[in-house]
Amino acid sequence: SFEGQAPKTWPKANLTPNARVVLAKRYLKQEDGQVIETAEDMIYRVASVVAQIEEENYGKGKKEIQALIKDFYNMMANLEFMPNSPTLMNAGRDLGQLSACFVLPIEDSMEEIFDAIKNAAIIHKSGGGTGFSFSRLRPKNSMVRSTGGVASGPISFMKVFNSATEAVKQGGTRRGANMGILRVDHPDIIDFIQCKEDNKEITNFNISVGITEEFMLAVREERSYDLIDPHTGSAVGQLSAPEIFNIIVDHAWKNGEPGIVFLDRLNQGNPTPLLGKIEATNPCGEQPLLPNEACNLGSINLKLMVIEKEGKMVINWERLSQVTRLSVRFLDNVIDANQYPLPIIDKMVKGNRKIGLGVMGFADMLILLQTSYSTEEAVEYAEKVMKFIQTEARIESQRLAEERGTFPNYEGSIYDGVMKLRNATLTTIAPTGTISMICAASSGVEPLFAVAYTKTVMDGTALVEVNPLFESFAKEFGFYSQDLMEKIANLGTVLGLAEVPNWVQEVFTTAQEIAPEWHIRIQAAFQKYTDNAVSKTINFANSATREEIAEAYRLADELNCKGLTVYRDGSREEQVLSTGTAT
Ligand code: CDP
């Protein structure tokens, strides 16, 4: 494992006290319960391990490696780029597992089902999340030839996966996350849609219905569609498509589950169709993968990509280009610095060399550009920024391909004869749940959740936390007062406050105030230039109707989104309450 500390003369990381606490709790090396590494040491460890692979694999000289370590260090210490949590936690340490995303195959035999459970446990231990398609399992009550009994079906096995996950705390620090997907034409689809009706069931899974084009067509034409036996591939029954669509909508309305993924669209984006079909994604849905594939992610902090030029705030395209290219090189190196939990995963990952570069701090960027999230301009910024990142990422991946070779499965891929790339995919928009906290940026491409809120600290005192950008706007434009900040913390929003100028109210709009249509249009704008998928929650007011949710699904389909996750404000709490009174 890696020994070494950040050189004392190098700049300190630009972390808030809050971010240092998060790092100390979960990311920094500990010995006998004592933290024995600084945040700077951690960044140095990650930068060194990821740079040094170029010495081992490509014979780069010591001088170049030293310079690369420094470039990687600076980009992370400045908080311009952060890799996914497992890379921060495990690089240069015993576990050495650096990827956040895995998809494991589940075949229809006892041996293979329990192999998948074991492999998932190993992955969870190392901080990775796992996605599965349960679509190949025979429906419940089908025959089991060897025993003469009947099969218990995919949902009962999901419960076994769920219990196994419960028992393995992820990486010792975070609980394992899973994604379970079932095709809409699987005979057990109704049970699947209902399996998380009770919030206390299957808690370690996000679930998504795998929607097909054929199904969406049947919904539009208000007719039935075929249920397919996964073994024989032949139709074994029919269901009314509008009815199933309504059951999905109803459940999503109730508590946000299930989500949906558009399976045929995932496969239109599959860069290596000769290697098989994409049937599942990682836990948060942003990374479609082939069975036994893994992917490491990293995100650029857009909050830091805005500069003042001639008195105007503009996007710093020059730095965005540099950081994008350096990030692609970083993530390509991670593929080789990584220790994979299974030989077959090692082989798959090194064959396709998928990486997932994305962004965080998009909402912060819009605020700095004084643009409201729910506007055409915001949609244009989303497209422009992501198109730029995808283009720059491809330029770097082409450069790496010339130097290091294309990804081994390049022949027969969708890029064969089009452009030589080092990586089968380059871009993914992750939720950035923890790394956005580390970077004090808004998460992923989500809008602000609140302008200010009250946080109760250990000794019970209530602290008012104000969005730092809002605080600086308030001071700059002369409407700051402690009273106002407390008032906003209670409300969570600035909408309708006479003290706050109207244009500031619009710029600081929060997730619940933004109409679902704008949420979806921003998601679609990012998806347009993202090779993989976009992690995004579409927020609805508590009063939203089922028809509004149905409308959102139709819009997401129309705008070429790869999936959709909705959440109606307060719907989970409500459910907990109602079960509470029932018992
Ligand atoms: O910010 P961080 O790098 O910790 O992760 P994220 O962007 O919020 O999540 C990226 C991916 O990490 C998720 O889609 C999951 O695949 C995985 N993950 C997980 O397995 N368990 C968690 N508790 C959080 C994330």
In tens, the pLDDT along 393-425 reads 999 999 999 999 999 999 999 999 999 999 999
- Residue 293 and residue 103 in contact, taking contact as beta carbons nearer than 8 Å: yes
380 CB neighbour count, 10 Å cutoff: 12
- Residue 246 and residue 263 in contact, taking contact as beta carbons nearer than 8 Å: no
Hunting for tokens 């995963």 — which residue is that? 345
C-alpha dist (Å) from residue 18 to 9, 113, 440: 24, 42, 9
Hunting for tokens 């990821």 — which residue is that? 50
Three-state secondary-structure class, residue 319: helix
**What residues are in contact with ligand 1 under a 6 Å CB criterion?**
84-85, 100-101, 128-129, 174, 177, 282-284, 286, 297, 430-435
Q: Which of 286, 392, 396, 548 does the annotation list as catalytic?
A: 286
Three-state secondary-structure class, residue 301: strand
The Å distance, Cα 424 to ligand 1 centre, comes to: 21
Question: For residue 580, what pLDDT is reported?
Answer: 33
Nearest CA to ligand 1 atom 5: 432
Instruction: Give kind and range of the element (H or E) at residue 565.
Output: strand 563-568
DSSP conformation letters of 389-450: HHHHHHHHHHHHHHHH-S-TT-TTSTTTTT---S-S--B-B---TTHHHHTT---TTPPBS-
Query: Mean pLDDT of all residues in the chain?
Result: 95
Question: For residue 456, what pLDDT is reported?
Answer: 77
Cα distance between residue 46 and residue 90, in whole Å: 8
- Residue 487 and residue 522 in contact, taking contact as beta carbons nearer than 8 Å: no
Is the pLDDT score of 457 beyond 80?
no
Three-state secondary-structure class, residue 355: strand
Q: Are strands 81-83 and 452-456 parallel, antiparallel or unpaired?
A: unpaired
Q: Which is nearest to 184 in space by CA: 207, 208, 211, 153?
A: 211
- Residue 388 and residue 318 in contact, taking contact as beta carbons nearer than 8 Å: no
Structure tokens at 226: 């075929």
Hunting for tokens 């998504």 — which residue is that? 208
What lies within 8 Å, CB to CB, of 531 at 6+ separation is 269, 271, 390, 425, 426, 427, 428
Of 89, 281, 282, best ligand 1 pocket probe by most atoms within 8 Å of the beta carbon: 282
What are residue 225's phi and psi, to 5 degrees? -135, 160
DSSP one-letter code for 14: -
DSSP one-letter code for 304: G
Three-state secondary-structure class, residue 462: strand
Give catalytic status of residue 195 as yes or no. Answer: no
Structure tokens at 47: 């930068």
Instruction: Give kind and range of the element (H or E) at residue 475.
Output: helix 468-476
Q: What is the CA radius of gyration of the chain?
A: 24
Nearest CA to ligand 1 atom 21: 177
Cα distance between residue 91 and residue 176, in whole Å: 19
397 CB neighbour count, 10 Å cutoff: 28
Of 79, 81, 84, best ligand 1 pocket probe by most atoms within 8 Å of the beta carbon: 84
- Residue 108 and residue 230 in contact, taking contact as beta carbons nearer than 8 Å: yes
Low-confidence winner among 10-14, 149-153, 259-263 (lowest mean pLDDT)? 149-153
Question: For residue 492, what pLDDT is reported?
Answer: 86
Number of H helices, E strands in the chain: 21, 20
Three-state secondary-structure class, residue 240: strand
Give catalytic status of residue 296 as yes or no. Answer: no
Residue 158: is it exposed, middle or buried by C-beta count within 10 angstroms (0-12/13-18/19+)? Answer: buried
pLDDT in tens, 42-91: 999 999 999 999 999 999 999 999 999 999 999 999 999 999 999 999 99
Q: What is the mean pLDDT of residues 93-101?
A: 95
Q: Residues in the chain, how many? A: 583
Is the pLDDT score of 108 beyond 50?
yes
- Residue 133 and residue 182 in contact, taking contact as beta carbons nearer than 8 Å: yes
Cα distance between residue 66 and residue 495, in whole Å: 50
C-alpha of 536 from chain center = 8
Question: For residue 574, what pLDDT is reported?
Answer: 65
Bridge partner residues of 485 (DSSP): none
pLDDT in tens, 265-320: 999 999 999 999 999 999 999 999 999 999 999 999 999 999 999 999 999 999 99
* pLDDT confidence tier of residue 168, bands split at 50, 70 and 90: confident
For 520: left if phi > 0, alpha if psi spans -120 to 50, otherwise beta; the answer is alpha
Torsion sign across C-alpha atoms 335, 529, 270, 122: positive
Structure tokens at 119: 């492999």
Give catalytic status of residue 282 as yes or no. Answer: yes
Hunting for tokens 């951690």 — which residue is that? 42
Of 130, 174, 284, best ligand 1 pocket probe by most atoms within 8 Å of the beta carbon: 284
Q: Which of 195, 284, 295, 439 does the annotation list as catalytic?
A: 284
Hunting for tokens 């995303």 — which residue is that? 101
Q: What is the mean pLDDT of residues 11-23?
A: 95
Angle between helices 546-558 and 241-255 (to 10 degrees): 110
Cα distance between residue 84 and residue 81, in whole Å: 10
Is the pLDDT score of 200 beyond 60?
yes
Question: For residue 175, what pLDDT is reported?
Answer: 81
Question: For residue 462, what pLDDT is reported?
Answer: 79
Angle between helices 376-404 and 39-58 (to 10 degrees): 40
- CA dihedral of 102, 106, 111, 114, whole degrees rounded to 10: 50
pLDDT in tens, 221-267: 999 999 999 999 999 999 999 999 999 999 999 999 999 999 999 99
Question: For residue 151, what pLDDT is reported?
Answer: 87
Question: For residue 576, what pLDDT is reported?
Answer: 52
